[in-house]
């Protein structure tokens, strides 16, 4: 008989708190909701707190809204963490998971519905590129912008480790195998955090096998639309940004931002602020979530 692993997505917050030394006096106020788009698709989001959202968080490729759990707990502010199209509990994108313009427009609908008064938008990796596009196309929804370890300088070589993981098997015969692959590509993370991440980011089928949530959309999206977006257009969009912008850059192995990228970002956007996270790689929200939360709080809510 196939062993079923129980999953309650709102039951793991005590683990996040314990791992990073955050005070914990009970589960935070969090609920999942969805926003239906004009074509009938729906995007899903985690809504933190019961006051109007002050922040919007966009995760990276092959991730989901739960990647922000520890950051959200450390911030202690009302916010919305959105599952990007083709990720988590959201439906697929109109132009694939990496169709930035279509996805930014969809995200704009979600923000206008769930967080119209947000003080800032935070985007990591693919979520950061989506946030740049969002800020360019819908600047009224982005008062301040935080990019987490990404610039338009990302390419196949810099993101090779991320791409290799995403392009791996879509499914695994059991939990041990999906865990082993995840550990292989995330050697600096604790096994408990990776177990938790898998439960948030994969589904167990009736036969006991596991499939990544994002992999479910591979066969229904338009061919060729999941390639990295046009870098030249994104750099041009950066040059048009008028809102205060912060780059949070991981400095350890695995970061996809180079010194040259940082220089180009400063050239295109002289007002940009840059903060280095010396103990973090690409996933700053996973490696140094408390420090990232402090940086977001200082930048977005500075008086």
Residue 282 known to be catalytic: yes
Task: Give the strand order in the sheet containing 171-172.
Answer: 171-172, 210-212, 202-204
Active-site residue, selected from the candidate residues 83, 282, 283, 287: 282
Outline where the chain has alpha helix (H): 13-20, 69-75, 100-114, 126-137, 160-166, 175-185, 191-201, 231-240, 259-268, 284-287, 289-300
Task: Give the strand order in the sheet containing 120-124.
Answer: 30-36, 42-48, 79-82, 55-58, 120-124, 145-148, 245-250, 273-277
> Tokens for 142?
């982005």
> Tokens for 68?
């922000």
List the beta bridge partners of residue 220: none
Active-site residue, selected from the candidate residues 44, 125, 255, 283: 125
Residue 125 known to be catalytic: yes
d(C-alpha 302, C-alpha 295), whole Å: 10
Residue 149 known to be catalytic: yes
Active-site residue, selected from the candidate residues 149, 226, 261, 287: 149
d(C-alpha 215, C-alpha 213), whole Å: 5
Q: So which residues are the catalytic ones?
A: 125, 149, 282
């Amino acid at each position: 008989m196939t062993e079923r692993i129980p999953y309650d997505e709102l039951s793991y917050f005590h683990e996040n708190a314990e791992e990073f030394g955050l005070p914990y006096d009970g589960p935070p106020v969090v609920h999942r909701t969805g926003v239906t788009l004009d074509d009938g698709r729906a995007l899903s989001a985690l809504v933190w707190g019961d006051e109007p959202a002050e922040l919007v968080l966009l995760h990276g490729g092959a991730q989901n809204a739960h990647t922000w759990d520890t950051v959200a707990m450390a911030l202690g502010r009302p916010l919305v963490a959105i599952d990007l199209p083709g990720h988590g509990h959201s439906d697929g994108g109109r132009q694939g998971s990496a169709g930035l313009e279509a996805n930014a427009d969809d995200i704009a609908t979600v923000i206008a519905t769930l967080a119209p008064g947000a003080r800032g938008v935070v985007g990591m990796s693919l979520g950061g590129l989506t946030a740049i596009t969002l800020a360019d196309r819908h600047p009224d929804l982005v008062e301040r912008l935080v990019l987490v370890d990404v610039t338009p300088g990302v390419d196949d070589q810099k993101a090779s480790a991320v791409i290799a993981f995403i392009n791996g098997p879509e499914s695994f015969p059991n939990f041990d195998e999906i865990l082993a692959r995840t550990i292989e590509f995330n050697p600096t993370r604790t096994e408990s955090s990776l177990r938790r991440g898998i439960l948030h980011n994969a589904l167990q089928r009736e036969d006991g096998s596991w499939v990544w949530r994002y992999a479910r959309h591979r066969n229904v999206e338009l061919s060729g639309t999941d390639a990295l977006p046009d870098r030249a257009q994104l750099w041009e969009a950066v040059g048009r940004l008028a809102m205060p912008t912060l780059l949070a850059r991981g400095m350890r192995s695995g970061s996809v931002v180079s010194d040259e990228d940082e220089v180009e970002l400063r050239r295109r956007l002289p007002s940009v602020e840059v903060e280095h996270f010396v103990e973090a790689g690409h996933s700053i929200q996973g490696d140094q979530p408390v420090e990232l939360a402090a940086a977001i709080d200082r930048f977005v809510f500075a008086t």
